[in-house]
Amino acid sequence: MARWQPDAPGRLGAAALDLFEENGYENTTVIEIAERAGLTRSTFFRHFPDKREVLFGSGTVTGLLVEGIASAPPAAGPLDAVANALDALGQAFFTVDHREFSGRRQAVLNAHTELREREALKRIDLTASATEALSRRGVPSLTAHVAAKLGMLVWGIAFDRWIDTDNSEDFGPLARQALAEVRASGAVRQVHG
């Protein structure tokens, strides 16, 4: 692959995923990733601080999430603003073209504690970004935090369904379905013993 081709971060991510699957995360080096992508080690470090980060990308997802919340209709409640953001993510990021890669990526993450921990930290950062975006819409702090956490829960449910090879639905409708289920579970009445 020629070094001048565009999308170095995407190429590095694809190369890393292939190598992590072939050799294991621990046995793969940054130099091997860069070489597989047809790039140099210095190009790798221009985009990522270490090999762990290559599977987590840049702030693209955070930007889409925050913009999706900000662009929700003014009358939208906190969860509806989060749903708007999940729709935006589905249209821009969780597309049919990314489904196979995302499923493979998740399998690699699930197999390595260090990567699962990094994923958990990224989700915490996303929750904080969503909370801030909701607060900027005038949502009270506690409500914004709860809505953001519920949004991450919905995201996780929808994502797991979306990468399931038996499922062909788009991410957005799956997120809306998961949100409806989460809302319904909140309406469950207490059982009196």
Find out whether 175 and 90 touch, Cβ atoms under 8 Å.
yes
Instruction: Give the structural domain span for 74.
Output: 59-181
Based on the domain organization, do 130 and 159 belong to the same domain?
A: yes
pLDDT in tens, the chain (193 residues): 444 567 899 899 999 999 999 999 999 999 999 999 999 999 999 999 999 899 887 668 899 999 999 999 999 999 999 999 999 988 888 888 889 999 999 999 999 998 999 999 999 999 999 999 999 999 999 999 999 999 999 999 999 999 987 878 899 899 999 999 988 887 544 443 4
How far is Cα 25 from Cα 44, in angstroms, rounded to an integer? 16
Based on the domain organization, do 41 and 72 belong to the same domain?
A: no
Based on the domain organization, do 160 and 85 belong to the same domain?
A: yes
What pTM did the predictor assign?
Answer: 0.84
Question: CATH code at 33?
Answer: 1.10.10.60
How far is Cα 164 from Cα 162, in angstroms, rounded to an integer? 5
